[in-house]
Amino acid sequence: MLEELRWKTSLSATALHAAYCRARAIPPADGAMGRHLDSAADALAAELDAAEWPRLAMLEYLTALASEFDNNRDLVTRAAAKLRLPRTEAEAPRVAGGVADLEAALMRAQPNLAEELAVRSGPLREQWEARGPGMLREIGRLTEEEVVPAAAEIVVTAPYAGGAGMAHVSQNRVTVEGVLFNPLPALPETVRLAWLLSQLNADLPRYVDLLPATRRPELFAMAMAPPALAAAQEVELAMCDEPTLASAFEGWRLGADLPGDAAARVWSWWSAWLDQPAAWPVAVAALDRLLAD
């Protein structure tokens, strides 16, 4: 059961989240934001490539850790250590410079961003406090109590994609865009937030022992989508049915590398599991086999 939930905003995480979205070819919802940030994001990506560091993995770790560090070199060094990258002495200053340039581009584009983030986080936090705890309790009831973290942190960023978020398992933290409206009316952002938080215990031994390391993050994300929708239906926020799951896969960018029927397969798996429940780690491992066929 979630006992401690901390909220914060971060300018640096906003900038790096935008760079991560850019690296994943996610288009900016606001063309002006793209024009201001994309050049600096590309320059940072080029520095990562020059260092022969994994671009997406490094940008994800930088985003995850950004709210902890004021010094960009310390941030880059810590992210590189998390990924066990062999070289940092020469590469870290150049990458840190790319991060600084990206942050500067963001501040030129949105000089009042700190105040804006405070405004943007308010509605999401109010909506979460009204329905979120109930959703997490229901997710735990439907799957297993261990799936819900005891403590977590939410970092709200300015929108780049018009609605996006990441679960950073190793930091027990999620980043989520502070949108002022629901990009998918049938799927309120509070549901996305419950889904993200429900992924944070994916590194427990009970899951690590059964799920392949390379596929575990996305596999766990897909497995938690139906319980998140079922919990949302329980608190009257969304429907839990196959069309809504398909919308979630599209809106939450799930299964992009899988065949087009991935959402349908996950729905079939969920329906079968409801008929014959098994231990949740075993159920998620079964989903992995189903999607691999």
DSSP string, 255-275: -TTS-TTHHHHHHHHHHHHHH
pLDDT score recorded for residue 165: 96
**Measured in whole angstroms, how far is the alpha carbon of residue 240 from the centre of its chain?**
21
Strands of the sheet containing 4-9, edge to edge, are 4-9, 151-157, 173-177, 165-168
Q: From its phi and psi, is residue 185 left (phi > 0), alpha (psi between -120 and 50) or beta?
A: alpha
Return the C-alpha torsion angle 131, 137, 139, 140, nearest 10: 170
Q: How many CB atoms lie within 10 A of CB 29?
A: 17
pLDDT score recorded for residue 38: 92
Q: Which candidate, 228, 164, 226, 130, places its Cα nearest to that of 18?
A: 164
pLDDT score recorded for residue 94: 95
Q: What HEC string does 159-223 produce?
A: CCCCCCEEEEHHHCEEEEECCCCCCCCCCCHHHHHHHHHCCCCCCCHHHHCCCCCCCHHHHHHHH
The greatest distance separating any two alpha carbons of the chain, rounded to the nearest whole angstrom, comes to 56
Q: Which residues contact 95 (CB under 8 A, 6 or more apart)?
A: 44, 47, 48, 51, 53, 58, 76
Place of tokens 């691999």: 292
pLDDT score recorded for residue 277: 86
**Measured in whole angstroms, how far is the alpha carbon of residue 60 from the centre of its chain?**
9
Is 85 in contact with 53 (CB distance < 8 Å)?
yes
How confident is the prediction along the chain (293 residues), in pLDDT tens digits per residue?
Answer: 788 999 999 999 999 999 999 999 999 998 778 888 999 999 999 999 999 999 999 999 999 999 999 999 999 999 999 999 987 788 999 999 999 999 999 999 999 999 999 999 999 999 999 999 999 999 999 999 999 999 999 999 999 999 999 999 999 999 999 998 899 999 999 999 999 999 999 999 999 999 888 889 999 999 999 999 999 999 999 999 999 999 999 999 998 777 778 999 999 999 999 998 889 999 999 999 998 87
pLDDT score recorded for residue 117: 94
Return the C-alpha torsion angle 66, 67, 68, 71, nearest 10: 60
Q: How many CB atoms lie within 10 A of CB 243?
A: 11
Q: How far apart are CA 237 and CA 231, in angstroms?
A: 9
Q: What is the pTM of this model?
A: 0.95
Query: 22 - beta bridge partners?
Result: none
pLDDT score recorded for residue 31: 79
